[in-house]
Amino acid sequence: MDSGDAPTPEDAYDELADTYEQETEENLYNAEIEFPGTTDLVPDVTGDRILDAGCGAGRYTEWLLDRGADVVGADVSEEMLDRARDRVGDRAELHRADLGESLDFADDEFDGVVSSLALDYVEEWRPTFSEFARVLKSDGFLVFSVKHPLDAHDPDEGTDYFAVERRIADWEVDVPYYRRPLSAVLNPLLETGFRIDHVAEPEPTDAFAEEWPERYETESRNPVFLCVRAVKR
């Protein structure tokens, strides 16, 4: 399928909603690389108000709630929000929101923002990081995970590492996303009022090794995800 004919992320995730939650949480890449890598960067959130930006079916929403946070979830897909509502009930406030646009339901009220594997669907990050900075209190934190810039770069296929490129993930439906270089991950943070606190390239866990030893050898040598913690200056 030509990229121009691909569905939007909203369309794609509306269609994927019935199977995404279970398949993703059972997927070793998510469960045993990204999830532990991202959650390890989240500080103590007891009593804090946290925005789960791109909450999907509510996995991180639930995790944050279970750690004593007051959580607001936001996602572009109404079908995924329905799954999140099924999961957390009225424990969290949920909004339909496009991370590439204004978060008009909030203003200077969050102690932290957590965004797991959602920013890859946004082409231009400066407006998004500016919105995160706007809704965060002073010294509020931002923790996010994305595909590692090297994971989808293949010089043998003529890809341009230095470009922000629109790609198509071939799942049950075609899902558009953007691959970008490391500079296009970190510089927008610095330009929108954040101080980078920690950068992690998580490695697969021992559980990954037990379940899929042949891939463990490969992924122990090659980065798959990039996890970042930043603080609002």
What is the pTM assigned to this prediction?
0.94
The model's pLDDT over 41-71, given as tens digits with 9 standing for 90+, comes to 999 999 999 999 999 999 999 999 999 999 9
Residue 90 maps to which CATH number? 3.40.50.150
The model's pLDDT over 111-151, given as tens digits with 9 standing for 90+, comes to 999 999 999 999 999 999 999 999 999 999 999 999 999 99
Q: What is the pLDDT of residue 6?
A: 60
136-147 and 225-232 as β-strands: parallel, antiparallel, unpaired?
Answer: antiparallel
| Alpha carbon distance, N-terminus to C-terminus of the chain | 43
Number of independent structural domains in the chain: 1
Structural domain including 81 reads 3-232
Q: What is the pLDDT of residue 154?
A: 82
* Residue 35 exposure: Cα atoms within 13 Å on the Cβ side: 19
Q: What is the pLDDT of residue 173?
A: 87
The model's pLDDT over 158-207, given as tens digits with 9 standing for 90+, comes to 789 999 999 998 888 899 999 999 999 999 999 999 999 999 999 999 99
